[in-house]
Amino acid sequence: MHAVIKNALPLVLDDSNSIAIIWCIDDVKNIRTDLSDDECMEVLSYQDRKHDASMGVSWDTLEWCANYLFPPKEEASNNEEEVAG
């Protein structure tokens, strides 16, 4: 997949006056191994739509988005205990 993107970028990107940084589902999986490919793509799509241009996209923002969209299982069970208790 990465090779396909690298080969296609010169067709749409003029590297003499612009750059592109690519994040992929593998990056999200490095943060959250429990997420499916579709869930990882949801994280990337959400990050693309909602990112703050002054902060950009980073490992921290990807992790926040992943946890926001798909709360880790242990966190979800802790929250349920707090509500019940």
Domain range list for the chain: 24-84
Q: What is the pLDDT of residue 47?
A: 95
Q: Is the predicted pLDDT of residue 65 greater than 70, yes or no? A: yes
For residue 8 the two structure tokens come to 């296609």
Question: From its phi and psi, is residue 56 left (phi > 0), alpha (psi between -120 and 50) or beta?
Answer: left
Cα distance between residue 72 and residue 82, in whole Å: 16
Q: What is the pLDDT of residue 9?
A: 65
Q: What is the pLDDT of residue 17?
A: 81
Q: What is the pLDDT of residue 49?
A: 94
Q: Is the predicted pLDDT of residue 79 greater than 60, yes or no? A: no
Cα distance between residue 75 and residue 77, in whole Å: 6
Residue 20 CB-half CA count within 13 A: 14
pTM above 0.75, yes or no: no
pLDDT tens digits, 17-52? 877 788 999 999 999 999 999 999 999 999 999 988
Q: What is the pLDDT of residue 11?
A: 66
Give residue for tokens 């429990």. Answer: 34
